[in-house]
Structures are given as C-alpha cells and as structure tokens.
C-alpha cells in the first residue's frame, strides 16, 4: 500500500511539473495550491522533485553552452574587425548628410510654398464646388421671399417643398441652411395665418355681396320665367324666339367654371350682359386658402372652419328684420340674401373638390328651409294688405324657381304657398268687407232710374239683369234693384280676379285653380258679404223702406249667382259638371240675408207701433167718449197703410217671387195687427192703471173699431176672409162683454166651444172689472138713479166672485 501511494504521489508531482513548465506564470497559482491541499509532507517531496528537475535542466543548459561557445568567440572576433570600417562609414554618412541638408534647405522652402499654394488651390476648388451647391438654395430662398412679398402663397409653399426635399439636404451641414430649415415651418404658419385672414375677409365680403348675387340670380330666374311664358305663347301661335336669358349657366346642369352663365355666351343678340357670381365675388381667397391647407396637409381643419363659419352666416342670413312684413322690399332683401348665400355655396360645391359636399349643402338647405318657412309663416300673418301678400307670393315663387334651378328641393315652399294663399284670401276678405260696407253706406236704397237706352245698357253690362216687362217700358224707367247690386256683383268678380292672381305660377291644374276660386268665392259670399248684410240690416238708421229694398237686392243677387259660376268656368275652362266641382253657396247666403231682413221688418214695424202706442193719452175716468177715434191711432193706421204699400215693390216677376213677396207682406201685416192688439190689451190690463170708467171703455172701443176697419180693408192682398180681423178678436170679445154687460151669457156659456165670448179669459175679465168697480160710484150715468147704481154695484160684486171662482178652478186644473 505504501509503495502504491508513493508511486501515485510521484506521478502527481510529475504532472504538476509539466503543467508548471507549459503554463503561463499567471496561472501557476491553482497548480501550486493543489500541492498544499494534498497529503501531508507532499510539499517536501514535491520540493525534492522540483530540485531534481532544476538540476536536470541546469545540466542541459551547460551542455548547450559548451556546444555553442566556439561560434560565439568567432563572432566577437569578426565584429571587432568590422568596427573600424563602421566608424569610417559613419563619418562619410555624416558628411554626406550635412552637405545634403545644406543643398535641400532651399528646396524645402520652395516645396513648402508649393504645398501652401496647392492647399489654397484645393480650398478654392472646394469652396467653388460648395458655392455651386449653395447658390441654388439661396436663389430658391430669395424666390421664396419674393413670392411671399407678392402674396403668391401657393407657389411659395411649392418652393418651400423643393427647398426641404431637394436643395437643403445637399448643403444641410451649413449653419445658414439650418437657419433656413428652422424658418420654413414658421413661414408656413405665417402663410396659413395670412390665407386664413384672407378667407375671413372673403367671408365678410361674401356676406355683403350675397344680396347682390341673390338679386341677380332672382332677376335672371324671373326673366327666364317671363321668357318661357313668351315662348309658350309664341309656340301656341306658331312662332319661336331665341332665348336670351337662362336661369344659370348649366341650364339646369352645373359646369365647374362659373354661375349663371348664358347658354350661348357668344350671342350678340342678348340685351344685356349676364352677370355671374364670379363677376360679383372674387373666389380666389377660397381657392388659395384651400390649396394652401391641402399642401400643408391640414385640409380637414380648413373644411371644418369654412363650413362652421358659413353655417354661422347662414343663421344670420336667415334672421329677418323685425319690420320685414311692412314692405315688399323687406321680403325681397331677405330672399336676395338667402339666394345669394346658396348660389355661392353651389358655386363652391362645383368649383372645388370636396370643400363642401352635396350632403352638406342639402343639410344646410333643409335647416334653412325650415327656418324660412317658420319666418314666412310668422311675418305673413302680420300682413293685412292683399297687394303685399300677392307680392310676397310672387317673390316666393321666384325664390323657389331660382333655387330649384340650382338643384335645391323646394316642394315645401310651394306647400307653404297654400298657407299664404289662405292668408291672402283672409286679407282679401277684409279688404272686400270694407268695400261692401262702403257700397252699402253710399247706397240710396231706391230703384235705379235709367233715362236712356245707353244708361240701361251700361247697367245691364255690369249686372246680368233681364226682365221682359221692364224692357218693353218706355224711358225713363226704373230698375227694381238699387245701385249697390251691380256694384256688389262687379266687386265679387273683382274678388275672383284678385283671387286668381294668387293661383298664377303655382304649377297647379285648372281643376285645382277652379276649386280654389270657388272656395274663396264661397267664403266671400257666406262670410264677408253675409256678415256685411247682417250688420247692415241691424243698423238703426235702416228703415222699413230700406229693408224692403234690401230684400229686392238680395233676390237679384241670388239670381246672379249662376252667372258668377259661369264666370269662374270661363276663366278656368273647367266644366261645372266635373266630379267634385265645388258649388257656390250664394243662394243660401242671400236667402239668409233676406230672412234676416224680413225679421228686421217685423221687428222695426212693431217698434214703430210701440212708438205710436206711447203717444196714447187716454182719460181713463171720462164720463163718455168723444165720439171719434183717438188721433194717435189714426196716425198709426195711416202709417201702416203707407208702409204696406211699399211691399208692392217687392219682386213679383215670376210666381216664386210673387208668392214670396205676398208672404212677406202678409206676415208683416199679420204681425203688426197682432202686436197692435197685444199692445192695446196690455194697455187695458196695465197694473199701474187702477180705475177705468165706462166712457174710457167706449172710447177704447172706438179705437178698436178703427183697427178692425183697417184689417177688413185688405191692406195687403191675399188674406182669406176675415183672417186679419181675427188678430183683434180677443179685444173685440172683451169689449163687447163690457159694452153689452152680458155677464149672464158669459158665465152661462163659459167653457162651451160655441160660447159668444170664447176668447175672453176669466182672469182678464176679472182684472178689468176690478178696475171699474171703484169708478161705478162716481159714474155720472148712474148718479140720478141711486137704486140702479146699487143694483149695478151688487151685480159687479157677484160677477167678481164668480170670475174668481173660475180663475181658481183653472189654477187648480193646471196644478
């Protein structure tokens, strides 16, 4: 075991020695450390091994030195021989060097001069080369400055682009180029600011010029409409005229170069030069700013700003003046501004690529259209002048046609015109109400006198009057109606013409226009004229004669309604037999007015009777009557006679009118007699009248007899038998009862259909009898016969009791 370990140790030391010999000295540390980490006494054995290895090497070195020693000695000997020659050669070299230095000193100076010149030459060439690179940059920058000074900003941006991409990169190492490159963004911002300022000036300018642009466009649209109307008329006559004006340069189709251009720009026959939006407005700031922002890559910002500002301007344009409705010029300025605004937008739409889009303009137009309609609704409602409303309608039509020519939908504007038409009709109705009132106020309400045939033809030309009997009469003669009738008829036709004016240029069919005219005429007849007639009839100063004439007038106006229908048919060429054709309601209007006049006749007649009754001055305590009727009653009867003679003037040229006039006269007469009878009865039964003498009864009986005589004299023909006298039957039976003093018969036959005093009411008889009770004692007739007087008083008291029992019995039966 010991020998084995010794052998391994020797082998390990041998390996370590070989590693030390072959390894760099810097890496010997780990190797030596392994010696100490080995077995005890390994260090000593290794040192021994190391000494043995050193000695072995020393022996090899010694052998090698011994082997080369003779050669070393020979080399030293040779070196000593060469030493002398070397010293000699060194002297020669030193001398040669000195002479060479002396000779080359001048050459060196010249060479340095040459080198310096070559360096200068090279520097100059380099400078020229660099300047040739820099000069184009400087020239382009100078060009940029000139372009900026001349406000050619789009060209300046192109120059900047060339500087940045082509020229400056070639000489970017120079400081001035760096300064240039740093200035270019600032110049771009300045250009943006300047172009934006120009755009703002343009927007302000276009706001001022919109009125003029719109005025030009609307005038050309109106000329276009006038030309089309002329062409249509010429075409119907077989002629044609070459067009002079056009609504816009596209003839309903856009071109990219302008607005409102003539179809034939070379036409020398044009009466005047066609102005376009470009003639009135300089659009270059918009194009320039658009190009600048496009080049700068900021087009979206520009588009948004432009659209935002134009929307603000649109809102300002759409805001009307407070007093716009007062004059047509206010409306015209309003429409001109709006048209000018959208003409400019339409031009921008077609002259630029995407600055505004069709969707944007449509949205803007829809917003504007809603605002316009609301404004027109509000302001048109303030208009009370039909001429102004008609002017407004014409402006709306031209406004709509103008914008329709530029592709904007305007159907809602034509729908609005129907609302304006209603407003127009309302103003017409108000105007014609004043006309009718004036006609009625100036009318004398007497038949129209005609002295000659010319006067007759003049009246007939104004009003469709035909009467064979009157035509056969000799001049002078009178027409049954008053002067207001032909005037009313003429004014109704004028109203139809005025209403027709609004229907022009509305692109409506003849049937629709016919329907409009008939409806508006119906409103005139049933509302305006009817109201004027009703007010006229109710006026206090209109007497019975005037009311009779009004009835005559309404009858003739009623007959003329069919001529008005023919008049409308001739205007519209629409047959009245067409389905859904509106009929005129004049018949009902004049019938209602006639009925109102008739009712007013009855009312005024009764009022006149009341006025006469108020003049009655009976002496209710008189002993005996005067033997003649009262003066007030005779005056009343004379008034009634003369009044009913007026009714003979009522139209009776045919059976219908004859029956109608007779009915009115009969009704008036019966009404007057009944009212007179009732008034006389109320006079007797007046609660304030406490005492009535027999003499007063006799006087009252004389008055009633006159009334009965009037009724029996047939003041109005047509009554059968004693129909009119029956109006006084209540008074007659009551007075007969008191005059005859036939109480036994009255009380015995009371309640019998054949009673002589069937119309005498017990309460009425009782009231009148009680008024006579207190006067019986003072009656002169009975003063000489006291016993008879007492018997009379007892009889009265007995009759009073029986009458009261009858009254009570009737009350019980009613309850």
pLDDT for 589-632, tens place per residue? Answer: 778 887 888 888 888 888 888 888 888 888 888 888 778 888 88
Gap between the Cα atoms of 111 and 117, Å rounded: 10
CA–CA distances in Å: residue 462 to residues 455, 459, 528, 569: 11, 5, 21, 18
CA–CA distances in Å: residue 559 to residues 196, 459, 562: 75, 16, 7
- Average pLDDT in the 164-185 region? 81
Gap between the Cα atoms of 209 and 278, Å rounded: 11
> pLDDT tens digits for 689-725?
888 888 888 888 898 888 888 888 888 877 777 788 8
> pLDDT tens digits for 484-500?
889 989 999 998 888 88
Task: Answer for the pair 704, 731: CB distance below 8 angstroms, yes or no.
Answer: yes
591: which 2 tokens?
Answer: 């019938």
The pLDDT value recorded for residue 267 is 39
Above pLDDT 70, what percent of the chain? 84
> pLDDT tens digits for 77-94?
888 888 878 888 888 899
The DSSP element (H or E) to which 477 belongs, if any, is strand 477-479
Q: Does the pLDDT at position 301 exceed 90?
A: no
Gap between the Cα atoms of 210 and 208, Å rounded: 6
- Average pLDDT in the 320-346 region? 84
186: which 2 tokens?
Answer: 């600032």
Half-sphere CA count of 216, side-chain side, radius 13 A: 24
Task: Answer for the pair 16, 31: CB distance below 8 angstroms, yes or no.
Answer: yes
The pLDDT value recorded for residue 262 is 38
Task: Answer for the pair 449, 476: CB distance below 8 angstroms, yes or no.
Answer: yes
């Amino acid at each position: 075991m010991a020998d084995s370990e010794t052998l391994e140790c020797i082998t390990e030391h041998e390996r370590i020695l070989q590693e030390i010999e072959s390894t760099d000295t810097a890496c010997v540390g780990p190797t030596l450390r392994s010696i100490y980490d080995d077995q005890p006494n390994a260090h000593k054995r290794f040192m021994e091994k190391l000494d043995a290895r050193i000695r072995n090497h020393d022996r090899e070195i010694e052998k090698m030195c011994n082997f080369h020693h003779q050669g070393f000695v020979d080399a030293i000997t040779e070196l000593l021989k060469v030493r002398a020659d070397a010293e000699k050669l060194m002297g020669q070299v030193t001398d040669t060097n000195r002479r060479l230095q002396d000779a080359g000193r001048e050459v060196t100076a010249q060479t340095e001069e040459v080198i310096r010149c070559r360096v200068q030459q090279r520097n100059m060439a380099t400078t020229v080369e660099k300047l040739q690179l820099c000069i184009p940059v400087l020239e382009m920058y100078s060009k940029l400055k000139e372009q900026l000074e001349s406000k050619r900003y789009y060209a300046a941006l192109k120059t900047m682009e060339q500087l940045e991409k082509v020229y400056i990169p070639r000489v970017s190492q120079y400081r001035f180029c760096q300064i240039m490159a740093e200035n270019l963004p600032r110049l771009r911002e300045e250009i943006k600011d300047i172009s934006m300022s120009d755009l703002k000036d343009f927007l302000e300018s276009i706001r001022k010029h919109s009125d003029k642009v719109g005025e030009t466009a609307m005038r050309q649209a109106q000329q276009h409409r006038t030309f089309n109307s002329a062409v249509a008329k010429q075409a119907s006559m077989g002629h044609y005229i070459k067009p002079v004006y056009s609504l816009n340069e596209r003839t309903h189709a856009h071109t990219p170069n302008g607005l409102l251009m003539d179809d034939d720009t070379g036409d020398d026959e044009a009466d005047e030069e066609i102005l376009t939006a470009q003639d009135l407005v300089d659009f270059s700031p918009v194009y320039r700013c658009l190009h600048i922002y496009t080049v700068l890559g900021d087009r979206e910002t520009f588009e948004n700003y432009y659209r935002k500002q134009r929307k603000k301007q649109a809102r300002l344009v759409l805001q009307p003046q407070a007093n716009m409705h007062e004059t047509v010029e206010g409306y015209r300025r309003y429409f001109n501004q709006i048209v000018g605004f959208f003409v400019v937008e339409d031009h921008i739409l077609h002259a630029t690529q995407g600055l505004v889009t069709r969707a944007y303009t449509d949205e803007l137009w829809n917003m504007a259209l809603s605002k316009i309609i609301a404004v027109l609704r509000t302001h048109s409602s303030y208009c009370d002048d039909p001429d102004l409303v008609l002017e407004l309608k014409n402006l709306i039509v031209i406004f709509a046609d103008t914008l329709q020519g530029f592709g904007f939908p305007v159907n809602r504007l034509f729908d609005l015109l129907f609302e304006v038409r209603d407003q127009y009709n309302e103003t017409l109705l108000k105007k014609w109400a004043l006309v009718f009132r004036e006609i009625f106020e100036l009318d004398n309400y007497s038949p129209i006198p005609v002295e000659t045939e010319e006067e007759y033809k003049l009246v007939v030309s104004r009003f469709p009057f035909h009467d064979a009997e009157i035509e056969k009469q000799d001049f002078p003669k009178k027409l049954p109606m008053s002067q207001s009738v032909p005037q009313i008829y003429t004014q109704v036709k004028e109203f139809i013409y005025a209403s027709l004016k609004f229907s022009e240029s509305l692109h409506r069919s003849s049937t629709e226009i016919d329907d409009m005219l008939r409806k508006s005429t119906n409103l005139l007849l049933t509302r305006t004229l009817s109201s004027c007639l009703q007010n006229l009839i109710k006026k206090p100063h209109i007497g019975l004669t005037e009311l009779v004439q009004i009835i005559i007038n309404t009858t003739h106006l009623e007959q003329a309604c069919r001529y008005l229908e023919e008049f409308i048919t001739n205007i519209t060429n629409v047959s009245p037999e067409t389905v859904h054709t509106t009929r005129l309601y004049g018949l009902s209007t004049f019938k209602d007015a006639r009925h109102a006049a008739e009712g007013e006749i009855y009312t005024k007649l009764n009022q006149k009777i009341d006025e006469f009754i108020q003049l009655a001055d009976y002496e209710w305590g008189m002993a005996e009557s005067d033997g003649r009727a009262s003066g007030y009653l005779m005056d009343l009867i004379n008034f009634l006679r003369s009044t009913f003679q007026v009714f003979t003037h009522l139209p009776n040229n045919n059976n219908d009118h004859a029956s109608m006039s007779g009915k009115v006269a009969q009704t008036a007469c019966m009404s007057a007699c009944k009212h007179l009878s009732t008034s006389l009865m109320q006079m007797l039964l007046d609660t304030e009248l406490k005492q009535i003498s027999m003499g007063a009864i006799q006087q009252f009986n004389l008055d009633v007899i006159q009334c009965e005589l009037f009724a029996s004299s047939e003041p109005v023909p047509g009554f059968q038998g004693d129909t009119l006298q029956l109006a006084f039957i209540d008074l007659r039976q009551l007075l007969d009862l008191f005059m005859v003093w036939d109480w036994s018969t009255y009380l015995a036959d009371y309640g019998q259909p054949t009673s002589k005093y069937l119309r005498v009411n017990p309460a009425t008889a009782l009231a009148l009898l009680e008024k006579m009770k207190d006067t019986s004692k003072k009656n002169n007739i009975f003063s000489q016969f006291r016993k008879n007087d007492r018997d009379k008083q007892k009889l009265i008291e007995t009759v009073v009791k029986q009458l009261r029992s009858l009254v009570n019995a009737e009350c019980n039966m009613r309850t």
